[in-house]
Each structure stands twice: as C-alpha cells, then as structure tokens.
Structure 1
C-alpha cells in the first residue's frame, strides 16, 4: 500500500528545507532572470507554480557593469504571492516583516504561534507578513506548496528573485515596496529574521509610544567597514562598495522603523548601487536621506544568544539565535505570570 500524500509531505518539506539551507548559505553568486513586470493582485497572472513551469530556475547573463555579488536592482520584480488588501480596512500600528526561506514551513508556523501572533499585544493592531524569494533548486516543487500555505494563512509575500544569501537585500526592499504601496499609513514597521526571539509588547510600550517620524532603532553598528576577504560570507568587494566604512546602521536580525521611512527607503534605493549586505544597505539609504539611527539602551537588542530567563527576557526586545523550535519551548512559560516592572 502506497503512503498518502499528507504522510509524505512533512519529510519532503524537511528535506527541501535542509537542502535549501545549504544552498542559501552557499557563496556561489546567483543572478536573477529577466522577468515580466510585477502584478499587484494577490497572486500573479497564473500561479507561482505555473510561472516556474514556464521559466524554471534559469539565470540571465549578468550585466557587464554589475559585480556578481551585487543584487540586480532596480529591477521590475513581480509578486508571485501578494496580500495587497491587508491594509484597506484597517491601519496597523506595526507591520511585522519576517525574513524566511521558501521551504521553512515549520519555522513560519512556529513564529505564527509565538511572537508573530498578530494578537500577541492586546489592543495593538499588528500585521504579520513573511518575505521570501524563489528557491534556487526546488522552486518548481515548492510553488504549489507555497500557494496552499498562502491560501491558508494569507501572510506570504514572494517575488521572482532567487532566494539566496546574497539576495537578502532584495527581500527587505520587497517589504519596503509592499508597505509603501499597500500600507503607507502603518505607524511602524519591524523587519526580523526567523531565528530571533521578539518581545513585541515591550517594544511597543518602551519605544513606540508616542508615534515618531524618521525613526529607526535596533542594535546599532558604527564605524564598521566591509569585509574584503573572500573566505567570509559577508565579503563585499570594492567594486560593490568602494568606501572603507559604512554609515551607522541597525543589525539585520531585527530593527524597527517608523512607517514613513518605508517609502523613503524604497524610493532612494532606486537611485543607489545596491550591495549584498542588507542591513548595511539600509544604513546607506538612511545616510543618503540625511536621517540618522536612534540609539537604543544597551542590551535591549541582542545580536548573540542569551540563556532564557523569563524576567530578563521581559525587559528585552530581541535575542538572536533562537530557532523556531526554541520558541515553541520557551513561549508558554514567557506568556505566564508577569515579572516585576
């Protein structure tokens, strides 16, 4: 007797996710195919699966003026999965943009059940959206799975660039584009990676009231520069970014900014050479706009893992290196009795 599709699907997705993680961390530069212009409906004309059937994972010859590590931008990327109606009947206080990989269905579900729950902060309107590109190997196979997940949860944004480490900047710009076009009145936006712990309640109470403009905060890097050694995944050659230092910027695992900045960053990004370091590029955009980052108290945004202690975590906004399975373990305890203020 052959096993049914539901029984086969979880191990298939796990295999795809594990292989996708290896591909995601590869240092091989991947370019993006030249594609039709984006469509602003919930789904592109035809499904993402159909688009992948038509185009596969072919790559275009990179422009002679663009370094292979430089993400192709500006480019008319098309939304394969979209949620353009989310803000038409409500204005969220906080739009939560979570960077994720196409095959990470279990990770997204864990985030929905923990800090990504839109009801996690009573009285605060939160909108959660996951950002993803096309898997560079299993894009066709994952297309139908992602379509189904999108119909079930209504929280996936996907454009037709390849989902690789060097294209992470494109994911953030996709989020900026979506907010600027479909949710421009959002009070705040937070970009977060999938391997973090977030305390949105503390974030809102401590930093976001009253509302601000031209505001961005997180773990701030100052006087840092590009890594020029090819052995590192953060390698940025001089052809991509010639200066020796970056402007101040907030670390990529998690930062929050006022909603007005989404449009400003998206617009100025159309005029600047894009680099493969997402968080540094956002700092470059802010510098071009003449807007600085706002300092946060030391230790509130943590770029390294800290052992879980409920009352300590109640006074933190972010802790890096907490995988979705970790979240499912600690979240029930974190939601219980309050700690002393």
Structure 2
C-alpha cells in the first residue's frame, strides 16, 4: 500500500507546484537510492554527494522529481520561492551624480567599491571616455565602507567628477543584491528616458561600439542579455565563494542566468524586475536573484556572443575586434594599454594564425569562436610576436 502511494505521490509531484501539494503529501524517509535524479550527481565532487546523502538522511524528506529536495525540519526556515512584499530594501541615496538627460539611449551602471579609486580613474581615461558622444552616460555605483577614509575620499571624488551614486549601506559582496535593486530604483527615479541599462563591474573592458550595434538590431528588446548560463548546479561546498546551502536554495539547478560581471537589459525589463522583486525573497548571489525575478516574470535571457565573464588574453587589438564586447578581471594598466593601441577595425590580423604552436600553459579552457583561443595576460605578447604567430 505504501509503495503504491509513493508512486502516486511521485507522479503527482512532477506536475504540481510544491507549495500547493505539500500539506497533502504522505511522508517517508527516503534513501539515496530512492532518488532517480541522483544518478546525475555522480560526476560531482565526493563532498557534494556526501552532503546530499547527509541531507537526505536527516529526518523525513519530500521528493520533488528532478527539481528539488526539501528536508522536513527545514521547511519552516527554508527560503521560499515567493513571499508577500518581504524584500523591500530602502537605503538612502547619499550622493548622486547628475548625468541623465532626455536623449539618453544607454545608461551604464559601473559597480565599484569606495577604495577602488585607481580603477575608476583608468575607466574614465579609457572606454568610458568615448561613450558620451554616443547617446550614453555612465555612473559609478558604490556603498559605504567601514574604512571611513575610503568613504570620505569617495565623496571628494564625486565632488570633482560628479559621476558617482553613493548609497547608504555597507558595500560588500554579500550585499550585491541590495546594491543592484537600489541602483535599478535610482534609474527609474532619475533616468527614465534610458532605453537600455548596462550593469558592469569596474574591472571590465567594454567594447561599446560593438554593443551599440547589437542593441540597434533590437536583439534584446524585452530581454536581458550577456554571458548567460543554463543548467548550472549550486555550489554546496561551504569553502566556495559561491556556496549556497540547501535551506537557502533547495532546487538542484539554477534558473537560466546571465553573469553579474556584465549584462544589459531593456529598461522595461528593469522596471518589471523592480515590480516583482518585493515578492521574491532575498538571495545572496545577485545574478541568480535577478534570474529568479525573470523566471517569475516569464522573461527570457539572451546569450550575446562577445560577452565574457572571465578574463581573456588582453591582446590590445583582439579586445578592439568585434569578437570582444566584455572581458572580466582587466587591470588598470591593461585597460590603458588596450585603449591606446592602434589597430585595424576588425583586429583580425592580430589573431594567431596557428594557435596549435602556442605553449600549452597559455591555453585556457575557454575558446574563441572558430577555434581562436582565450588568454590571460600581456606577459606572452612579445614571445608571440617573436615566433611570428601574428
């Protein structure tokens, strides 16, 4: 009788929403072998498999097909998918640069920290320098710092450049979701005329001309685009920077999301995210939180070729080619070297003609379209030229 009930429950659970059926579920203690979707986890590190086994063995559990595992004792404290206006960050805008106008096409939100003065200086001297003549504007978005000296210098810096939005909350990695939602609120209050909102970190290279050509095609109207990921597993190792516990996120796979290092969205999408966000509980990983909002809104994401969430080899003319829109982790000196380089418009003559000749240590896992390779730093550039690989 119990087995027949179990089969019935599993069939029903695959098609119904968890919250709707939870009160009526028969309860049984499941073993690891009872989960048909666990076969997919065999390739994961042992510690993740052990964590899952321990989680499943700790009391009575609900099984939700291939989507989620809820532990009975955690149901009262586990993060819910939706709530009733439980997430409403309301931090003051302490200092605002006045940068918006009625002809604004693209607004760039550059996420930075109070102490990153040199990065901001390099950005102002490089790719940010050229965007103002192209119906675009930028603003640096920062919070406050426990180091009062850094915070004070940020206020002085803004009095000089008038291009910073300082929000009254502690600026930290754990607070990125607050930072994102508050910056979106600011765009709707001060820059309603902007058609597109680009969020980007302060250690990014941006090839704005290539991005602008893509936006003009209407490719991401009513969408959010960037370097997007599908079918990603949460990190369950507590030592990992991106660790997420089962109570914080019981689902086995994240919704499709675009890397928070850089993404661009239609302003209407930003507005809808702000509308739904009060009913989406806080989640520490900002790009996943935005994905949870988009899933509730039934919006799709758009993977844009040329967006890179990791650092590619910063050969100057490669960065100025149509193959690169963004690259992450670029230093201030590299930004200046790239910006000052004189290159062909397409940069094609600077791509290795025979990549197989490159030393193995120079090859990363990520590859360019059509076999062109990703790279890390400038230190091999002279070696490449010496071997006539360009």
User: Normalization by structure 1: what TM-score?
Assistant: 0.72
Gaps of 5+ in 2: 1-75, 80-85, 349-390
In structure 2, the residue matched to 1:131 is 141
In structure 2, the residue matched to 1:86 is 99
In structure 2, the residue matched to 1:30 is none
In structure 2, the residue matched to 1:305 is 311
Distance 1:223 1:212 in 2: 21
Q: Establish whether residue 234 from structure 1 lines up as the match of residue 242 from structure 2.
A: yes
Map 1:29-48; keep pairs closer than 5 Å.
Answer: none
More helix by share: 2
RMSD: 2.3
Q: Does the CA contact (< 8 Å) of 1:121 and 1:201 recur in 2?
A: no
Q: Establish whether residue 324 from structure 1 lines up as the match of residue 337 from structure 2.
A: no
Distance 1:127 1:120 in 2: 7
Distance 2:287 2:275 in 1: 17
Deviations 1:150-174 (A, max 9, x none): 1111111121211111111122112
Which of 199, 202, 205 matches 2:207? 199
**Number of equivalenced pairs:** 265
Q: Alpha-carbon deviation of 1:294?
A: 1.5
Distance 1:305 1:127 in 2: 25
Runs of 4+ in 1 over 6 A off after TM superposition: 64-67
In structure 2, the residue matched to 1:95 is 107
Distance 2:332 2:149 in 1: 23
Q: Alpha-carbon deviation of 1:337?
A: 4.7
Q: Does the CA contact (< 8 Å) of 2:77 and 2:247 recur in 1?
A: no
Gaps of 5+ in 1: 1-63
Q: Does the CA contact (< 8 Å) of 1:180 and 1:266 recur in 2?
A: no
Q: Alpha-carbon deviation of 1:265?
A: 1.2
Q: Alpha-carbon deviation of 1:304?
A: 2.3
Distance 2:202 2:295 in 1: 27
Deviations 1:274-329 (A, max 9, x none): 111111111111111110102323xx112222223344321111112212221012
Larger of the two Rg values belongs to structure: 2
In structure 2, the residue matched to 1:77 is 91
In structure 1, the residue matched to 2:8 is none
Tell me the secondary structure at the aligned position of residue 259 of structure 2. Answer: strand
Deviations 1:235-260 (A, max 9, x none): 11223222222111111111111111
Tell me the secondary structure at the aligned position of residue 339 of structure 1. Answer: coil
Distance 2:208 2:300 in 1: 23
Tell me the secondary structure at the aligned position of residue 302 of structure 1. Answer: coil
Deviations 1:16-56 (A, max 9, x none): xxxxxxxxxxxxxxxxxxxxxxxxxxxxxxxxxxxxxxxxx
Q: Alpha-carbon deviation of 1:121?
A: 7.0
Q: Alpha-carbon deviation of 1:128?
A: 0.7
Q: Alpha-carbon deviation of 1:234?
A: 0.6
Tell me the secondary structure at the aligned position of residue 270 of structure 1. Answer: helix
Q: 1:196 to 1:239 in 2, by over 3 A?
A: same
Q: Does the CA contact (< 8 Å) of 1:91 and 1:183 recur in 2?
A: no
Q: 1:208 to 1:241 in 2, by over 3 A?
A: farther
User: Normalization by structure 2: what TM-score?
Assistant: 0.63
Distance 2:206 2:225 in 1: 14
Distance 1:212 1:228 in 2: 33
Q: Does the CA contact (< 8 Å) of 2:112 and 2:140 recur in 1?
A: yes
Map 1:201-220; keep pairs closer than 5 Å.
Answer: 201-210=209-218, 213-220=221-228
Q: 1:125 to 1:207 in 2, by over 3 A?
A: closer
Map 1:39-188; keep pairs closer than 5 Å.
Answer: 73-83=87-97, 85-87=98-100, 89-117=101-129, 119-120=130-131, 122=133, 124-135=134-145, 137-138=146-147, 140-188=148-196
Tell me the secondary structure at the aligned position of residue 92 of structure 1. Answer: coil
